[in-house]
């Protein structure tokens, strides 16, 4: 139990009814999960409004209510707190509740359309190798040093974030690397956190269903930098045309990285092969197991971050050469007949283009590239024709299929992807709703030396249709099918 007054420290209250000198059990923003003596925070969401459930929360035992508008009927014995923004209030309360854990460790936030999981996971690996206790909050998992926790979001809700940061702080973790998504920023999941630094990877087309315009999407990401303190560092990729925008209003110390232009941290790709690439960073050569020019950016941002956090440069480079690729990111299998199957989490137009370009740069002869790809349901529809166009332009054979259709019709999503295909490429297209069948067909079509790219789901181990998730693992399926076909 904690004193309500303490949890509210730093929360701007616009009206109070009842006492704040009362003990509460925990904070809850879902009326269905309220327990005796909890504080219920009413959030205005995208589907419904938490204010509608205040009465229900009280019936289940809520001792205090945080809301943006006091209800007409006030119940005796319940404390009501009015605030301007419940999302911000929730984040500050969550941080107070867990003892402001972000102050006890060096927290680095990574934002951008693509590369967040890769960069945070590699930083986690790097700092572990350097001998530190490390935390990770990523799309794939949360790590409290060596202990792994499941996660459902890239940037979880403020309670989940602070609960895990609290565990990290108890465990003596010194550095935590965290993905900061635009949804996370817009919903203030990261408000109240103290960042040691922030890293920008890149900005391209995604989530325009949620953010409406590209400018709004960009400005949402920028807020991570706007809110840094002057002691923090702000590191940005200035080869990206929005890289400098991120630094416009930050108080933090500014640093840049680039492959194509002058910057504080620079790299060059010397050689690119299937099993790795040779990079030159700060006049030192580094062999990286991660390939593709986009991974040269990821490696450079890791090097710069490590330097800004005080790691020794040469030691960092030595450890970086040992880093392994992240699950579902250019994860490949080479079959008996030398058919290469690549599973990659490319679910945005830019990522798909990058992966296909990387594959192209590695081709040694006339190998065919067969791409299996879909687009998520209940997500940005405008990226569907663009991904359809990129896949069909850059592959020899394309199979459009399903990728978490969620509440949408798989056939309609596929039709929207097909709309982006240039008429001269239609002969290359097949559409197979069932993803397993689509992967099998790709394997049947492939002959020796061909390359199969299965894009969009990467590490995911499920396919979600109408709220139901069935087990589904692209990598397992494609490798098993190739083995079964004896190819």
Ligand X SMILES: Nc1ncnc2c1ncn2[C@@H]1O[C@H](COP(=O)(O)OP(=O)(O)OP(=O)(O)O)[C@@H](O)[C@H]1O
- Residues that bind ligand X in the complex, under the rule CB under 6 A: 114-118, 139, 154, 179, 181, 201-202, 294, 297-298, 329, 344-346, 350-351, 354-355, 458
Identify whether the C-beta of residue 178 lies closer than 8 Å to the C-beta of residue 75.
Answer: no
Q: Spell out, one character per residue from 150 to 189, where the chain touches ligand UAG: x when CB under 6 A holds, - when not.
A: ---xxx-x-----------------------x-xx-----
Identify whether the C-beta of residue 317 lies closer than 8 Å to the C-beta of residue 286.
Answer: yes
Q: Shortest approach of ligand X to residue 115 CB, angstroms?
A: 3
Extract the tokens encoding 238: 């200035």
Q: Shortest approach of ligand UAG to residue 261 CB, angstroms?
A: 27
Asked if 405 touches ligand API (CB under 6 A), the answer is: no
* DSSP 8-state class, residue 157: -
Residue 326 main-chain phi, psi, to 5 deg: -85, 145
Among 379, 383, 384, 440, binds ligand API (CB under 6 A): 379
Quote the CA–CA distance of 35 and 18 in Å, as a whole number: 20
Q: Is 82 annotated as a binding residue?
A: no
Specify burial of residue 475 (Cβ count, 10 A radius: 0-12, 13-18, 19+): buried
Q: How many residues bind ligand API (CB under 6 A)?
A: 9
Q: Shortest approach of ligand API to residue 154 CB, angstroms?
A: 5
Among 457, 474, 478, 479, binds ligand API (CB under 6 A): 457
- Of these partners, Mg ion, ligand X, ligand API, none, which one is at the site of residue 298 (CB under 5 to 8 Å by kind)? ligand X
**Taking Cα atoms as reference points, which of 356, 450, 436, 423 lies closest to residue 395?**
356
Quote the CA–CA distance of 288 and 323 in Å, as a whole number: 7
* DSSP 8-state class, residue 406: B
Asked if 154 touches ligand API (CB under 6 A), the answer is: yes
Quote the CA–CA distance of 486 and 96 in Å, as a whole number: 58
Helices (H), 227-371: 293-308, 313-320, 349-362
Q: Shortest approach of ligand X to residue 296 CB, angstroms?
A: 9
Q: Which of residues 35-64 bind ligand UAG (CB under 6 A)?
A: 43, 45-48, 50, 53
- The residue assigned the tokens 């927290």 is 107
**Which element (helix H / strand E) includes 462?**
strand 462-465
Q: In what order do the strands lie in the sheet with 39-41?
A: 13-17, 79-83, 64-67, 39-41, 27-28
Measured from each CB, the residue nearest to ligand UAG is 45
Q: Shortest approach of ligand API to residue 183 CB, angstroms?
A: 8
Among 115, 243, 385, 456, binds ligand API (CB under 6 A): 456
Asked if 124 touches ligand UAG (CB under 6 A), the answer is: no
Binding site for ligand API (CB under 6 A): 154, 347, 376, 379, 403-404, 456-457, 460
Binding site for ligand UAG (CB under 6 A): 29-32, 43, 45-48, 50, 53, 153-155, 157, 181, 183-184
């Amino acid at each position: 139990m904690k004193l309500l007054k303490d949890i509210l420290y730093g929360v701007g209250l616009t009206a109070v009814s009842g006492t704040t000198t009362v003990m509460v059990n925990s904070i809850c923003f879902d009326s269905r999960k309220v327990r005796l003596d909890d504080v219920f925070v009413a959030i205005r969401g995208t589907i419904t409004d938490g204010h509608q459930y205040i009465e229900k929360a009280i019936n289940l035992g809520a001792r205090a209510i945080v809301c943006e508008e006091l209800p007409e009927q006030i119940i005796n014995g319940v404390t009501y707190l009015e605030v301007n923004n419940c999302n911000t209030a929730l984040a500050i309360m969550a941080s107070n509740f867990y003892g402001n854990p972000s102050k006890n460790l060096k927290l680095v936030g990574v934002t951008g359309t693509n590369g967040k999981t890769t960069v945070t996971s590699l930083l986690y690996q790097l700092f572990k190798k350097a001998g530190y206790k490390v935390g990770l909050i990523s799309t794939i998992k949360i790590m409290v040093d060596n202990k792994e926790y499941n996660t459902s979001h890239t940037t979880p809700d403020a309670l989940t974030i602070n609960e895990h940061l609290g565990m990290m702080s108890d465990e003596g973790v010194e550095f935590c690397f965290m993905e900061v998504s635009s949804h996370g920023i817009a919903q203030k999941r990261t408000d109240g956190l103290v960042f040691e630094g922030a890293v920008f990877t890149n900005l391209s087309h995604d989530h325009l269903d949620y953010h409406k315009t590209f400018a709004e999407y960009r400005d949402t990401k920028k807020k991570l930098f706007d809110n840094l303190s002057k002691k923090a560092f702000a590191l940005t990729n200035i080869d990206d045309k929005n890289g400098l925008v991120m630094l416009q209003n930050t108080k933090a110390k500014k640093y840049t990285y680039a492959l194509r232009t002058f910057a504080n941290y620079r790299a060059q790709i010397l050689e690119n092969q299937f099993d790795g690439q040779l990079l030159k960073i700060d006049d030192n050569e580094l062999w990286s197991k991660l390939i593709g020019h986009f991974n040269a950016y990821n490696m450079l941002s890791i090097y710069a971050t490590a330097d800004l956090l005080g790691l020794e440069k040469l030691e960092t480079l030595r450890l970086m050469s040992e880093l392994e690729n992240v699950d579902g990111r250019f994860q490949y299998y080479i079959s008996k007949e030398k058919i290469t199957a690549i599973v990659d989490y490319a679910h945005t137009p830019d990522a798909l283009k990058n992966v296909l370009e990387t594959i192209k740069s590695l081709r040694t002869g006339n190998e065919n590239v067969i791409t299996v790809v879909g687009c998520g349901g209940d997500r940005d529809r405008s990226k569907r024709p663009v991904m359809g166009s990129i896949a069909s332009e850059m592959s020899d054979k394309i199979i459009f299929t399903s990728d978490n259709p969620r509440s949408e019709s798989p056939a309609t999503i596929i039709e929207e992807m097909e709309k982006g295909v240039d008429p001269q490429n239609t002969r290359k297209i097949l559409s197979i709703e069932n993803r397993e069948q689509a992967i099998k067909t790709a394997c049947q079509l492939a002959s020796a030396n061909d390359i199969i790219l299965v894009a969009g789901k990467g590490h995911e181990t499920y396919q979600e249709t109408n709220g139901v998730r069935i087990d589904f693992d692209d990598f397992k399926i494609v490798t098993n099918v190739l083995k079964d076909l004896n190819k």
